């Protein structure tokens, strides 16, 4: 026999599940690309929460794809191996040795994520952009300078991801690609997530970041923007207010939206379970970038 107040606690739980119903329905069999990086990848507790969130998305019928970076772990290993950083015109160069190490570290991070998902009983597979020729790249110059094996994606061979989704895997992608001569290149993870979302016709693209979202005025925390239409985003970018790190991210967001992704989110990865909150509650997390016309179905609308 349970006490009244205890009973209430259970009923509250049931209520939470029931509240999730329309969201579960909305994203049923939809592809969701999650760019995973930043603090959420360093802090072990946050990491576990993100993975649990994505696993839950998979189990309730969504089709999530994780694209991850590996920034801090790469730095740690560069130090550990005692590599000499090289620079051209002040830009860090990804030479052969660096590329080799980056691929090793990203590979390790990749399999570690596979491990976490598998431990939750969901079928994961880790691939890099080499597998099945997923990501074709060309050398990316920085201000006209050759800074080594840094690539920009020219083609996404989405067939491999479709095959893996069809076989019910949760694909975890590390941002490595090959050029036409099959050399290895490093790719910015935000860019990789963006092109994959576009190529897969994703319903949603979510960036886990270390910021609360986009601000009208980065100096003023009160100016956090909840929803940003593409048109407004472009204005904001040309306003000069937006800081350096945010500019390419916003660019990615706009590009994704304009290629047919329904909604792009810049989430604060430092908030526990930010993905679940974003998908299953009416709590606005971070900034949603959306099509100028797209105003249907979503919370608050």
Nearer to its own copies, 11 or 144 (CB): 11
Using the rule CB under 8 A, is 192 a contact of its own copies? no
Name which of 63 and 256 has its Cβ closer to its own copies.
63
- For Cα atoms 69, 290, 228, give the angle at the middle one, nearest 5 degrees: 90
Residue 20 interacting with its own copies (CB under 8 A): yes
92 binds its own copies (CB under 8 A): no
- Kind of pairing between the strands at 263-268 and 287-290: antiparallel
Cβ-based neighbours of 34, under 8 Å, separated by 6 or more: 54, 64, 65, 66, 67, 193, 206, 208, 275
* Helices marked H in the chain: 4-26, 39-42, 44-59, 71-81, 96-119, 159-166, 189-199, 230-239, 246-258, 274-280
Tokens 């009973």 belong to residue: 7
Q: Tell which one of 89, 145, 146, 167 touches its own copies (CB under 8 A).
A: 167
Contact 206/32 with Cβ under 8 angstroms? Answer: yes
Dihedral (CA of 237, 257, 189, 155) sign:
negative
Q: What are phi and psi of 124, to 5 degrees?
A: -115, 155
Q: Is position 59 an interface residue for its own copies (rule: CB under 8 A)?
A: yes
Q: Using the rule CB under 8 A, is 296 a contact of its own copies?
A: no
Binding status of residue 2 toward its own copies by CB under 8 A: yes
> Interface residues for its own copies in 70-89 (CB under 8 A)?
80-81
Q: Are 176 and 94 in contact (CB under 8 A)?
A: no
Q: Taking the CA atoms of the chain, what radius of gyration do you get in angstroms?
A: 20
**Residue range at the interface with its own copies (CB under 8 A); choices 16-24, 148-156, 241-249, 250-258:** 16-24
Query: Could you say which of 30, 130, 229, 270 contacts its own copies (CB under 8 A)?
Result: 130
Stretch that binds its own copies, among 119-127, 147-155, 234-242, 244-252 (CB under 8 A): 119-127
- DSSP one-letter code for 222: G
Q: Does 225 bind its own copies (CB under 8 A)?
A: no
Q: d(Cα 51, Cα 57) in Å, to the nearest integer? A: 10
Stretch of residues binding its own copies (CB under 8 A), selected from 107-115, 148-156, 255-263, 289-297: 107-115
Residue 53 as a binder of its own copies (CB under 8 A): the answer is yes
Residue span binding its own copies (CB under 8 A) among the ranges 114-122, 143-151, 185-193, 240-248: 114-122
Interface pattern 271-290 for its own copies (x via CB under 8 A): xxx--xx--xx-x-------
Q: Does 28 interact with its own copies (rule: CB under 8 A)?
A: yes
186 belongs to an annotated ligand binding site: yes
Q: How far is the CB of 94 from its own copies (least distance, A)?
A: 15
Rule CB under 8 A: say whether 297 interacts with its own copies: no
Touching its own copies, residues 230-269 (CB under 8 A) = none
| 70 in a labelled binding site | yes
Work out whether strand 87-88 and strand 91-92 pair parallel, antiparallel, or are unpaired: antiparallel
What is the sign, positive or negative, of the torsion defined by CA atoms of 289, 293, 294, 300?
positive
Taking the CA atoms of 139, 211, 22 and 17 in sequence, report the sign of the dihedral they define. positive
Annotated binding site: 70-71, 92, 186
Annotated binding site for substrate: 70-71, 92, 186
């Amino acid at each position: 026999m349970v006490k009244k107040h205890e009973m209430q606690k259970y009923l509250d739980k049931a209520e939470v599940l029931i509240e999730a119903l329309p969201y579960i329905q909305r994203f049923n069999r939809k592809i969701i690309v999650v760019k995973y990086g930043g603090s959420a990848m360093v802090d072990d507790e946050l990491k576990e929460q993100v993975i649990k969130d994505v696993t839950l998305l998979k189990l309730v019928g969504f089709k999530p794809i994780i694209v991850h970076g590996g920034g801090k772990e790469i730095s740690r290993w560069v130090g550990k191996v005692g590599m000499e950083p090289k620079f051209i015109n002040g830009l860090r160069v990804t030479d052969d040795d660096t590329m080799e190490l980056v691929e090793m570290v990203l590979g390790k991070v990749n399999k570690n994520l596979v491990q976490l998902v598998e431990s939750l009983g969901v079928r994961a597979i880790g691939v890099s952009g080499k597998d099945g020729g997923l990501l074709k790249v060309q050398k990316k110059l920085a201000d006209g300078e050759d800074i080594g094996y840094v690539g920009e994606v020219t083609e996404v061979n989405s067939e491999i991801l479709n095959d893996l989704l069809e076989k019910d895997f949760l694909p975890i992608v590390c941002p490595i690609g090959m050029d036409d001569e099959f050399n290895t290149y490093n790719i910015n993870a935000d860019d990789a997530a963006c092109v994959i979302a576009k190529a897969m016709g994703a319903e949603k693209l979510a960036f886990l970041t270390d910021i609360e979202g986009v601000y009208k005025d980065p100096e003023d925390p009160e100016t956090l923007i909840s929803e940003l239409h593409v048109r407004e985003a472009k204005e904001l970018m040309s306003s000069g207010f937006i800081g350096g790190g945010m500019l390419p991210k916003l660019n990615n967001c706009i590009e994704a939206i304009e290629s047919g992704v329904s909604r792009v989110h810049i989430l604060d990865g430092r908030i526990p379970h930010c993905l679940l909150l974003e998908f299953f509650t009416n709590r606005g997390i971070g900034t949603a970038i959306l099509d100028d016309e797209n105003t249907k179905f979503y919370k608050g609308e």
